[in-house]
Amino acid sequence: MKYLLFFATAACCLSSFSHAAKPKPNILYILADDLGYGDVQCLNPLRGKIKTPYLDQLAARSMVFTDAHGGSSVCSPTRYGVLTGRYAWRTRLQKGVVQNESAPLIATDRLTVPKLLKSHGYQTAGFGKWHLGQNLPLNGEEMLTDQPIRNGPVTRGFDYFFCTDLRFFAPFMFIENDRFIGKPLFNRTKLGAKYGAGTSLKPDDFSHILPTVCDRAMAKLNEYSKSAQPFFIYLAPCAPHDPYVPTAAWKGKSGLGTYADYVMETDAEIGRVLDALEKSGKADNTLVFFTSDNGCAPYAGVKQMEAKGHYPSAEKRGYKSDIWDGGHRIPFMVRWPGKVKAGTTNSQTICLTDLIATCAEILGAKLPNNAAEDSVSLLPILRGESHPPGHEAVVHHSFDGNFAIRHGKWKLEFCAGSGGWSTPKNGSKEENLLPPMQLYDLASDTAEEKNVQSENPEIVKRLTALMEKYIVNGRSTPGAPEKNDVEVGLMKKANQ
């Protein structure tokens, strides 16, 4: 009996040791800014002319998702969804983006990805664009650059954050944690002062931002790599967002214009970061995500690029801001050596809200009911399961606050036009002549050219009811109903 007890105890200890010795993966999440699906050459071989060798190499070592979407077709709401697992239209931000002077969009008590990971022993750091609001020190319209910033990223789960939110607005300074660093580039420190609006600043004054942000991220990666603690690094370079500011070495490289030059430099900078990860010795136990917040902006010179054979939205209709897929379908790659099969593709419809549920399942953590209301774990897909669970449906949202819902091959859009900056715009004469809703069969009409809503009233009815359920329940995933922060107008919008 004593021997049986000894062996049972030993087996239990060995099991516990084996479980404890299993290292948690480091996580590197790279979120490009305004990079279209078709801007990555390997994803758009027939209609893509910009060379992106580093992202192509990453794709070859990753699982590539061909039907991934931002939570919105513009910046702030998508970033809210990445960090919280919740659609931003459930908050006060029901259209547009957060402004520089806006209060924090993420509530103090809301669970975020870095908060979740910190609770499991992770070091957490972010670099680049925050764009989710923080309380800036103001005296009227004057920025007090010697005063602390309140309710920024370091109060929402990050141990460290090197921020570029005011890169094109006075005082044109980086922010480290809760303090401005350096000196203002221009003597006007009023909040409204903007590059190109009366300042003496030139584009080259901003070309250092992308390499600086990546340098900072690499330095922190090297620091964290010396520790036994796992790390989470959120790298959100404000590129290739406008103004398009490639450094001198990259100007004219693409032959397609300044935006395309900047895409090439963005690709190379991401390559530098991934090379630093390899040299750190941590790459084999690091889960790397690469994606973008939304599609390419129409003002990037898309018509000129398309005339030369480069289509930033590939074969999709629309661009940044729009409800059509060109607005929110984005590149998405996941590399995890030994865990995710390299060189594979997946066509399941996913959303950038899915990060937090994925992290939770990796860690074996249970998410509370009042968190991650629109997040579904990607881990079963990454494991290569034959029938992985996923979203019942994914909700899309445009710059003007219009909804669409995607269920299987069907996409129902609750507006007559683009919902964004493309024509026909909301309220235009052209839009007033169109049916109030759009329904597309994406299996046969990936370019969203033939509206079949009049021929399929039952599908319109079913998807409308599903959209209403997601709004009323305050969630699109299973669980007890949750209230939206702001419900006024949402039902009306969904039925427009």
What letter does residue 169 receive in the DSSP assignment? B
Which residue did the predictor score with more confidence, 125 or 185? 125
**What pLDDT score does 390 carry?**
94
Between 120-129, 168-177, 433-442, the lowest mean confidence (pLDDT) is in 168-177
What's the mean pLDDT in 407-420? Answer: 98
Whole-prediction pTM: 0.94
**What pLDDT score does 493 carry?**
53
Return the SS3 of 77: helix
Copy the structure tokens of residue 117. 């990971």
**What pLDDT score does 10 carry?**
41
Spell out the domain ranges in the chain.
25-382, 394-494
Sequence-distant contacts of 254-262: CB under 8 A, at least 24 apart: 254/49, 254/50, 254/51, 255/308, 256/49, 256/50, 256/304, 256/305, 256/308, 256/310, 257/301, 257/304, 257/305, 258/301, 259/296, 259/300, 259/301, 259/305, 260/49, 260/50, 260/305, 260/310
- CA 130/CA 127 separation, integer angstroms: 8
What's the mean pLDDT in 477-494? Answer: 72
**What pLDDT score does 490 carry?**
60
Q: Which residues contact 261 (CB under 8 A, 6 or more apart)?
A: 244, 246, 250, 251, 252, 253, 254
Strand order of the β-sheet with 438-441 is 394-397, 403-407, 410-413, 438-441
- The domain 25-382 belongs to what CATH superfamily? Alkaline Phosphatase, subunit A (3.40.720.10)
**What pLDDT score does 183 carry?**
85
Does position 111 have pLDDT exceeding 70, yes or no?
A: yes
List pLDDT tens digits, range 241-282.
999 999 999 999 999 999 999 999 999 999 999 999 999 999
Neighbours of 275 (CB within 10 A): 13
What's the mean pLDDT in 299-305? Answer: 97
Does position 12 have pLDDT exceeding 70, yes or no?
A: no
The answer to whether 74 and 296 have CB atoms below 8 angstroms apart is no
Token pair 């922190």 in the structure block, residue: 220
What letter does residue 401 receive in the DSSP assignment? S
Can you say whether the dihedral through the CA atoms of 43, 45, 51, 56 is positive or negative?
A: positive
The answer to whether 262 and 246 have CB atoms below 8 angstroms apart is yes
Between 195-204, 323-332, 356-365, the lowest mean confidence (pLDDT) is in 195-204
- The residues with which 72 forms a beta bridge, in sequence order, are none
**What pLDDT score does 259 carry?**
98
What's the mean pLDDT in 380-402? Answer: 96
- CA 131/CA 128 separation, integer angstroms: 9
Token pair 């069907």 in the structure block, residue: 410
List pLDDT tens digits, range 131-167.
999 999 988 888 899 999 999 999 999 999 999 988 8
Does position 335 have pLDDT exceeding 50, yes or no?
A: yes
Please name the CATH architecture into which domain 394-494 falls. Answer: 2-Layer Sandwich (3.30)
Q: How confident is the model at residue 9 (pLDDT cuts 50, 70, 90)?
A: very low
List pLDDT tens digits, range 44-73.
999 999 999 999 999 999 999 999 999 999
Does position 206 have pLDDT exceeding 70, yes or no?
A: yes
